[in-house]
Amino acid sequence: MLASESTLIYFPIARKNGVIEMNSEGSLKKYTLLIATLNAFMTPFMGNAINLAIPSLGQEYGSSALLLNWVVNGYLMATAAFLLPFGRLADIVGRKRVFLAGIASFSIFSLGCGFAWSIEALILFRVLQGIGGAMVFSTSMAILTSVFPPQDRGRVLGISTAATYTGLSLGPVLGGAMTKYLGWESIFFLSVLFGVAVLLLTVFKLKGEWVGAPGEEFDLLGSMLYAVGIIGLIYGFSSIATSAVAKYLLGFGIAALIGFIVYQYRSKNPILNIRLFKGNPAFTLSNLAALINYSATFAVTYLMSNHLQVVLGFDSPTAGLILLSQPIMMALLSPFAGRLSDRVEPRIVSSWGMGITTLGLLMFAFLNHQTPVWGIVATLMLLGTGFALFSSPNSNAVMSAVEKRFYGVASSILGTMRLTGQAISMALVSMIIAMYMGSVMLSPEYADLLVRSTRAAFLCFTFICFIGVFASLARGNIRKDPK
């Protein structure tokens, strides 16, 4: 692969039998896809596994349901706040360099999570882990799409997405078993091992560097406004029902984000290129669709894990097996959906996926103590089908709507939409749980309150996802000559 002005790839020279050889493009592609696949597996595995450990964490630390939410939400908030700044930094100093720093940080703070001595310490390490995760998320897709040509992009994104859903699939099963037999700490220790493996592969096998904007200045003020705005928005929104100062933090966060947008118009080297949105409805609405979809779907596993364990009384391994039905559908169908989006307009495929997801969320809005397990499994499978049809085609649409030199920031924007949507999803759950349960413990004694809050959350998610169908349909075609 030749270097371009926007993507600079340097192949090291190796000597074999006295002959100087260049690393092959095929070898680069192979290891890039392997590293991206391992990375795509690692973080969703840990996230879903932790969802299964939440009731156990509550028992060990004696924490309320609200505080336990921050084990998940703290990580998401930090990742969303730093994703875009790190994406821009990676374009300037090198995507591989930032990726390596992220993997190292993620592994170190995963180790800290495993040794956390209190729920507050665990939340702190999760926030730091999220900062490392932001470095990884902002670069992995950009590297992948820089190495593979457009005609292969849907296929490799489908493989990466399948790895993500394999992680989601194994997360509940292994996470539930590990929590019961090895303790919740083992989940973080396993993440450390994955992180070290990815780190070593990247150092020794990913021979190259990708710099999208060499020599440009990093927008420090814009990065600070953005991070402060996201943190204020998410923390304020999630705590508005329990904290008197939350509304002020929410207002401050919104004001900071408005200031950030205004400042980006004037900045010579913005971290968010507003021009990517201007006159580009495919890019704008595809990102909006991602934000909406993740806002409506991310908390499903969290809510259903609590319902299965606290309301229905299943142990964590059994609950994990039941929850497996959703991500297994994602893992099976994502490669098909990715290849389909190479031939059919992504908006068609992903809009069908959003519609199917809306139906599944509506079915869970009627959840109660008597809902049979087979009904839960069937609904989870329906949600898995819908999300598989949405995710990789939507990612394909985003990356195909920009020039190659903007892959880094486009990947970061899409990742920001995903992580911000996930954080909004958990923030909604936090707000609804605060309204229905207050600060009570997550225990069978309050199962009725938990069911009411869960149903309210799914009703809210159904409405959000229904709106997302129209955003997905409105984006238009990404191909000039659709077949």
On whether both 236 and 315 belong to a single domain, the answer is: no
Considering the domain architecture, whether residues 66 and 95 belong to the same structural domain is answered as yes
Domain final residue, candidates 233, 252, 270: 270
Indicate if 355 and 286 belong to the same structural domain: yes
Question: Within this chain, do residues 229 and 83 fall inside the same structural domain, yes or no?
Answer: no
Evaluate whether residue 2 is within a structural domain. Answer: no
Tally the domains of the chain: 2
**With contact defined as beta carbons under 8 Å apart, do 293 and 465 qualify?**
yes
Asked if 257 and 186 sit in the same domain, the reply is no
In this prediction, residue 106 carries a pLDDT of 92
pLDDT value for 317 = 86
In a domain, 82, yes or no: yes
* Cα dihedral 376, 380, 383, 389 sign: negative
Q: Are 103 and 76 in contact (CB under 8 A)?
A: no
Given this model, what pLDDT does residue 153 score? 67
Q: 396 — phi, psi (to 5°)?
A: -60, -40
pLDDT at site 24: 61
At residue 11, the pLDDT reads: 41
User: Domain check: are 354 and 469 in the same one?
Assistant: yes
**Do residues 169 and 285 both lie within one domain?**
yes
Distance CA 89, CA 93 (A): 6
In order, the DSSP letters of 82-134 are HHHHHHHHHHHH-HHHHHHHHHHHHHHHHHHHHT-SSHHHHHHHHHHHHHHHH
Evaluate whether residue 483 is within a structural domain.
Answer: no
pLDDT for the residue 479: 56
Task: Identify whether residues 130 and 141 lie together within a single domain.
Answer: yes
372 plus 412 within the same structural domain: yes
| 303 and 387 within one domain | yes
Structural domain range at position 266:
219-270
Specify the pLDDT at position 224.
93
CA distances from 287 to 129, 143, 253, 344, 397 (A): 25, 19, 21, 19, 9
The verdict on 432 and 378 lying in the same domain is yes
List the pLDDT tens digit at each of the 483 positions of the chain. 333 334 444 444 333 333 333 446 667 777 788 888 888 888 778 877 888 888 888 888 887 777 888 888 889 889 889 988 898 888 888 888 899 999 999 999 999 999 999 889 999 999 999 999 889 887 887 788 777 776 676 678 778 777 776 776 778 788 888 888 888 899 999 989 988 988 988 888 777 777 767 777 888 899 999 999 999 988 888 888 777 888 899 999 999 999 998 888 888 778 877 777 877 888 888 888 889 999 998 889 889 988 998 888 888 888 888 988 887 888 788 777 777 767 777 778 888 989 999 999 999 999 988 889 999 999 999 999 998 888 878 877 787 777 776 776 677 678 778 878 888 888 888 888 888 877 777 777 778 888 999 999 999 999 999 998 888 887 766 555 444
The one-letter amino acid code at 217 reads E
Other Cβ atoms closer than 10 A to 193: 12
Query: What pLDDT is stored for residue 408 in this prediction?
Result: 62
Domain check: are 147 and 248 in the same one? no
